[in-house]
């Protein structure tokens, strides 16, 4: 049985649908299509990333991989290389795995329901719902960060979302608010409308309530302080990690890069050799190279939950000189890459920035 919204909120979905048609975003390159491949690609890229940043990456990916078949057949290195700069690289690894699963398990077609879509790598409940509502008009609710903000404010939902029971209760309310008529047309527009409202009007710090299509229905607005929603008490604990980097460089500008294992920080990316400390770095080099090591200014790279204190050391190698055995092992395979080669690899953002200073 379908859940019903409270009487006062029965107009909610209709207002969102109408507003989206006249004021929402309707000409983004991944809109006006019901092709699950394109919608999925955009949804994964848009997680944690602004629309303006995604536009170029989306175009490049589609040009290189026009269908899920080409993406599945690519090497992981190529996918990570094209993803380079978008961050959160587990998304790219899952994207590649998901394409391979769609080919191997579903005959090259994305499954047609949110429930089945969720069985694929990297597709969570909200992303599955977005794909299923956009492509198949399924009556399923999305609940990403922006939508949580809109709905908790509209509903005056003050329970702590750090507790999973409360989050489940919000999902249930999100389902109750869904349109229940003319789903092939209203579901895509409603889903897009909630996304648009969260991204453009119902902002975190300064919601523009005077422009909002659901202001009359919004409990947070009526109470006078919508920014008290959503409530989430658990604070992520930040950690710090110090890493030393060996920037080995030859006269022709080539650099030594190793491919990191798929687990841990910068998994699967190419990187300057990483050491736990400056002492560990110098201990692995023969005396003749140690003498030619120069420290560069250390810097901090901020990740979502962690501050990385990076300490790069530059070492000039002769043209014919090879990397000492202590740095190369089957666990950390590496190679020399010329300037035209390394720029196309998937590199962590701070490493790319460092190398580009010299390019
Ligand atoms: Fe958000 Fe204000 Fe609209 Fe409520 S009225 S949904 S707080 S923008």
Q: Provide Rg for the chain, Cα atoms.
A: 24
* Cα–Cα nearest to 47, from 58, 32, 36, 31: 58
How many CB atoms lie under 10 A from the CB of residue 103?
A: 17
CA pair distance 332, 257, nearest whole angstrom: 10
- From ligand 1's centre to the CA of 229, what distance in Å? 10
What is the dihedral sign for C-alpha 272, 351, 301, 43? negative
Q: Which two tokens stand for residue 143?
A: 């609940």
Give residue 154 CA to ligand 1 midpoint distance, Å: 7
The Cα 211–Cα 213 span in angstroms is 7
115 is catalytic: no
**DSSP state letter for 11:** T
Residue 201 CA: which ligand 1 atom is closest? Answer: 8
Q: Which atom of ligand 1 is nearest to the CA of 208?
A: 8
Catalytic residue among 3, 15, 43, 291, which? Answer: 43
Which one, of 273, 263, 269, 261, lies nearest residue 326 by Cα?
Answer: 273
Does the Cβ of 154 fall within 6 Å of ligand 1? yes
Q: How far apart (Å, rounded) are the C-alpha atoms in residues 23 and 265?
A: 41
Establish whether residue 16 lines the binding site of ligand 1, counting it when its CB lies within 6 angstroms of any ligand atom.
no
Per-residue pLDDT of the chain (359 residues; tens, 9 = 90+): 566 777 778 899 999 999 999 999 999 999 989 999 999 999 999 998 889 999 999 999 999 999 999 999 999 999 999 998 888 888 999 999 999 999 999 999 999 999 999 999 999 999 999 999 999 999 999 999 999 999 999 999 999 999 999 999 999 999 999 999 999 999 999 999 999 999 999 999 999 999 999 999 999 999 999 999 999 887 667 899 999 999 999 999 899 999 998 887 888 899 999 999 998 888 888 888 888 889 999 999 988 788 999 999 999 888 888 888 877 777 788 999 998 898 888 899 899 989 888 76
Q: Is the pTM here over 0.85, yes or no?
A: no
Q: By the 8 A CB rule, do 314 and 294 touch?
A: yes
Q: Is 150 in the pocket of ligand 1 (CB under 6 A)?
A: yes
> Which DSSP symbol is given to 250?
-
How far apart are the CA of 150 and the centre of ligand 1, in A? Answer: 7
> Does the beta carbon of 217 sit less than 6 angstroms from any atom of ligand 1?
no
User: Is residue 201 lining ligand 1, measured as CB closer than 6 Å?
Assistant: yes
Residue pair 160/218 in contact by the 8 Å Cβ criterion: no
Nearest Cα to 204, choosing from 143, 161, 130, 148? 148
Atom of ligand 1 minimally distant from the CA of 218? 4
| 194 Cβ closer than 6 Å to some ligand 1 atom | no
Of 193, 70, 176, residue with least CA distance to 134: 193
In ligand 1, the atom with minimum distance to the C-alpha of 209 is 2
C-alpha–C-alpha distance, residues 47 and 270, integer Å: 23
Query: How far is 130 from 52, CA to CA, in rounded Å?
Result: 20
Q: Is 209 in the pocket of ligand 1 (CB under 6 A)?
A: yes
The answer, yes or no, to whether any atom of ligand 1 lies below 6 A from the CB of 213, is no
Ligand 1 centroid – CA 21 distance (Å): 18
What are the residues whose beta carbons fall under 8 Å from the beta carbon of 128, sequence distance 6 or more?
114, 115, 117, 118, 140
Spacing, Cα 30 to ligand 1 middle (Å): 26
CA 240/CA 282 separation, integer angstroms: 22
Residue with tokens 């890069």: 257
Rounded Cα distance between 255 and 248, Å, is: 6
| Contacts of residue 141, Cβ cutoff 8 Å, sequence gap at least 6 | 129, 171, 174, 175, 177, 178
CA of 53 to the centre of ligand 1 (A): 26
């Amino acid at each position: 049985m379908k859940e019903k919204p409270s009487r006062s909120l029965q107009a909610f979905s209709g207002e969102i649908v109408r507003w989206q048609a006249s004021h929402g975003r309707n000409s983004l390159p991944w809109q006006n299509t019901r092709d699950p491949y394109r919608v999925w690609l955009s949804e994964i890229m848009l997680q944690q990333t602004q629309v303006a940043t995604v536009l170029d990456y989306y175009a490049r990916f589609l040009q290189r991989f026009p269908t899920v078949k080409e993406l599945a057949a690519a090497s992981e290195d190529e996918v990570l290389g094209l993803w380079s700069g978008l961050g959160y690289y587990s998304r790219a690894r899952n994207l590649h795995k998901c394409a391979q699963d769609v080919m191997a398990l579903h005959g090259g077609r994305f499954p047609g329901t949110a429930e089945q879509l969720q069985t694929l790598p990297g597709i969570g409940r909200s992303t599955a719902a977005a794909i299923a509502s956009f492509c198949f008009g399924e009556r399923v609710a999305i609940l990403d960060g922006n939508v949580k903000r809109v709905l908790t404010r509209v509903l005056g939902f003050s329970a702590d979302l750090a507790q999973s029971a409360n989050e489940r209760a919000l999902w249930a309310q999100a389902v109750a608010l869904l349109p229940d008529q003319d789903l092939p047309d209203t579901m895509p527009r409603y889903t897009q409308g909630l996304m648009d409202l969260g991204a453009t009007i119902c902002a975190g710090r300064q919601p523009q309530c005077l422009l909002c299509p659901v202001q009359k229905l919004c409990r947070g607005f009526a109470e006078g302080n919508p920014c008290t929603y959503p409530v989430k008490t658990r604070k992520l604990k930040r950690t710090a990690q110090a890493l030393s980097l060996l920037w080995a460089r030859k006269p022709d500008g080539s650099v030594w890069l190793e491919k990191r294992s798929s687990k841990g920080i910068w998994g699967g990316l190419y990187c300057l050799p990483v050491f736990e400390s400056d002492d560990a770095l110098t201990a692995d080099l023969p005396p003749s190279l140690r003498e030619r090591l120069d420290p560069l200014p250390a810097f901090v790279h901020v990740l979502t939950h962690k501050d990385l204190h990076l300490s790069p050391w530059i070492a000039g190698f002769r043209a014919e000189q090879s990397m000492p055995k202590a740095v190369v092992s089957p666990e950390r395979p590496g190679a020399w890459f010329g300037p035209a080669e390394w720029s196309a690899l998937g590199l962590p953002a701070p490493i790319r920035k460092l190398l580009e200073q010299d390019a």
